Amino acid sequence: MAHKIYTSYNQIDKELEILNLEKEVSYQRVILSLKNTKESLAPTYLISNVFSSFKTGIRGSYVQILNSAIPLIINWIINKKRGR
């Protein structure tokens, strides 16, 4: 890293202020990241996320499930009537 040459205390003060602001922004990003992680690991969020994923999966393959289930149900009814 190249050394900066300052000609006045004002330049040093401005550089320190910029560094302090960058430090504060980084700190706030870490805090926000921890908060988001904590919220994403909360049981209520995990359960709602699982259910929404399940709902999306079912909604997308609803027709396929029906096409697979109907023949199985019909065969079960036929076998039930035959006494098997």
Task: Encode the chain (84 residues) as per-residue pLDDT tens digits.
Answer: 678 899 999 999 999 999 999 999 999 999 999 998 888 888 777 777 777 766 666 666 666 777 777 788 888 888 877 765
6, 15 contact by CB (below 8 A): yes
H-state helical runs in 1-84 = 9-40, 43-60, 62-82
pLDDT at residue 56, rounded to an integer:
65
72, 65 contact by CB (below 8 A): no
